[in-house]
A and B are shown apart, each in its own frame.
Chain A
Amino acid sequence: MPNKDNMTTMHEKDITKEKSRQKVVKLFVQVMVYAFLVAMAIIVLFPFYWMIISSLKTLDEYRMSVPTFWPKTVMLSNYAEAFTTANLGRLFVNTMIVGVISTLLSLVITVLSAFAFARLEFKGKDLLFSALLATMMIPGELFTITNYSTVTQFGWMNTYTVLIVPFLVSVFYIYLLRQNFMQIPNELYLAAKVDGTSDLKYLWKVMVPLALPTLISITILKMMGAWNSYIWPRLVANDEAHRMITNGLRNAFTDTTGDVNYPVQMAAVALVSAPLFLVFIFLRKYIMAGVSRSGIKG
């Protein structure tokens, strides 16, 4: 560090000092940020870890009153058993069909509705939107009986339709996307109008790219929904040809006393989650792929 002794350099020295102080602060902040993120990551990861080790335990070890944090005997055979016991291939295909179709349709419906709520002016807009929000407030379990009788009357039992259609509209997603759309400056829309661009073209070329991260979030949530849905599919489509993954997994490993062989079930869950996990890694790149840059170009 240079050492000079006149007034101006004194001042300079202060500045360098200040700068190095800032550097230290910055470094400190960085360290804190990392420490925080890593700590949270460990906490968030814990159930995932638990799923894996549970899938490797014997049933008796799993039932032990003192939980072990590493399986005493590693039961890789649980995976083999999971694979042979449940008809995993079929379950997986069914879930993919339902997941993909319902995600695509749901995205279209959500984008259109969110656009209407975010950009278009029509009578009763606020009222309708509030009413939609209100529908989220009743526990869905109460709907089951009524919806069940509706789909029976439609003759939809044991079809893909019954797994896809009733849950296509999610007020949650419409709301989420509307919030996102409303952030996009109105000037863009008005300019597009002046250029004579049609609404749909504008929606497709400008709004959808700008809201891509949100749309991807919705895709992830919707796919996960297909993966985790249990009560409804069990009720309306529990035949071999349409059975979904969670139903298949839940049923396949019940033992004689009606207990579930959790380790094998966990192994099966891990197996079917693996492809999803890969899709995620792929999607994460997408989310990060400089979405913000696609901005004004439209």
Chain B
Amino acid sequence: MVDNKQQWKAWIYLSPAIVLLLIFTVWPIFNTVRMAFLENYSGLQAAGGKTFEFGIQNFVKVVKYRKFVSCLKNTVILCVTTVPISTLLALLIAVALNSIKPLQKILQTIFFLPYVTNSIAIGMVFAAMFNIVGSFYGTENEIVVTAGIVNNVIEFLGGKTINWINYGSTYTANMIVMIVYIVWNALPFKILVLLGGLQSINKQYYDAAKVDSTPRRRVFTHITVPLLSPMLAYVIITGFIGGFKEYTSIVGIFGENMGPADDAGRLNTMVGFIYDALETNSQGRASAAALILFGIILVVTMINTQVSKKRVHY
């Protein structure tokens, strides 16, 4: 039963958002679909007066790309690893921050700081941390000028240096670097959201728990997490959407090469593929790839929202 007054009120409240979305989001999406079905569509060629046939060649071409599966695999791996790890870490940090008294202000400020740090700086730091500068790794005339700070730490702890991102590095090592980097990048935002959520939880719940002298872990699993579940659902779902769109972080570490020197494109993702297509002004192919990606994210998000419907407590 929906009363009519609420009906039109709702639409009035929504109208500014809807109007803007129609113009700046929905219309471009429609245009994307159009380009995806025009064979070999190129915006520049269209501007030059060329017309394009209708067809599904763009989709065929995307799927036939010999590294399509690898792009897809990289995207999925990055997604299913970084989202849980970063969410869990962010949750722990947010709860810890919320539970302490001394130093709380300073620590909170520190966790906000990345927001005023330019993204260029972040990319450069990471490259410097993992990059080995030198030549001939692993051969007898190996020359290492600097092993990067991460390797310095490993050596200091008595371990053996690992070739993280340079030529000859393994796929696993590459992936570990990417996961660390993406998690690191994602943390501040998630901490911010979760901390915001934590602080709007009514203190009464905790006071009640205190009276009952409920153990810490039970408070966490039975009060904090359920009450925080809407925020958790938010960061997980948006995390997945963001994860499927991973691209810039890989450029940040590996450059346009999208892989170590001896295996360019090894770490390419779906969005990386889209960028490659845009580079040669093949908007048709880019759009087709985007729609394929869209389909995948849609399915995952539907699963996510189904799960969160059962788990989220409002």
Binds B, one of A7-15, A85-93, A135-143: A135-143
Q: Interface size on A (CB < 8 Å)? A: 93
Binds A, one of B62-70, B160-168, B184-192: B184-192
B199 pairs with A180, CB closer than 8 A: no
CA distance A135 to B105 in the complex (A): 37
A217 pairs with B196, CB closer than 8 A: yes
Q: Which residues of B contact A133 (CB under 8 A)?
A: 237, 301, 305
Q: Which residues of B contact A202 (CB under 8 A)?
A: none
Q: Which residues of A contact B20 (CB under 8 A)?
A: 109, 165-166, 168-169
Chain A 186-220 interface mask (CB, 8 Å, partner B; 1/0)? 00000000000001000000000011111011001
In the complex, residue of chain A having the shortest beta-carbon distance to the beta carbon of B118? A269
In the complex, residue of chain A having the shortest beta-carbon distance to the beta carbon of B97? A37
Q: Interface size on B (CB < 8 Å)? A: 96
A135 pairs with B26, CB closer than 8 A: yes
B57–chain A nearest beta-carbon distance, Å: 18
**Footprint of B on A, CB under 8 Å?**
29-30, 33-34, 36-38, 40-41, 43-48, 50-51, 54, 65-67, 69, 108-110, 112-113, 115-116, 120-123, 125, 128, 130, 132-139, 141-143, 145-147, 150, 165-169, 171-172, 174-176, 179-180, 182-183, 199, 210-214, 216-217, 220-221, 224, 228, 262, 265-266, 269, 273, 276-277, 280-281, 284, 287-288, 291-293, 295
Top 9 nearest A-B pairs by Cβ distance?
Answer: A213-B196, A179-B230, A143-B28, A51-B121, A122-B10, A146-B28, A137-B297, A116-B13, A120-B10
Given contact pairs A138-B291, A213-B199, a sample of 9 additional A-B residue pairs in the complex whose CB atoms are under 8 Å apart: A40-B111, A48-B121, A116-B13, A143-B32, A145-B31, A168-B16, A212-B200, A213-B196, A276-B116
**Footprint of A on B, CB under 8 Å?**
2-3, 6-7, 9-11, 13-14, 16-17, 20-21, 23-29, 31-32, 43, 89, 92-93, 96-97, 99-100, 103, 105, 107-122, 124-125, 128, 133, 145-146, 149, 184, 187-189, 192-193, 195-197, 199-203, 216, 227, 230-231, 233-234, 237-238, 241, 244-245, 271, 274-275, 278, 283, 286-287, 290-291, 293-294, 297-298, 301, 305, 314
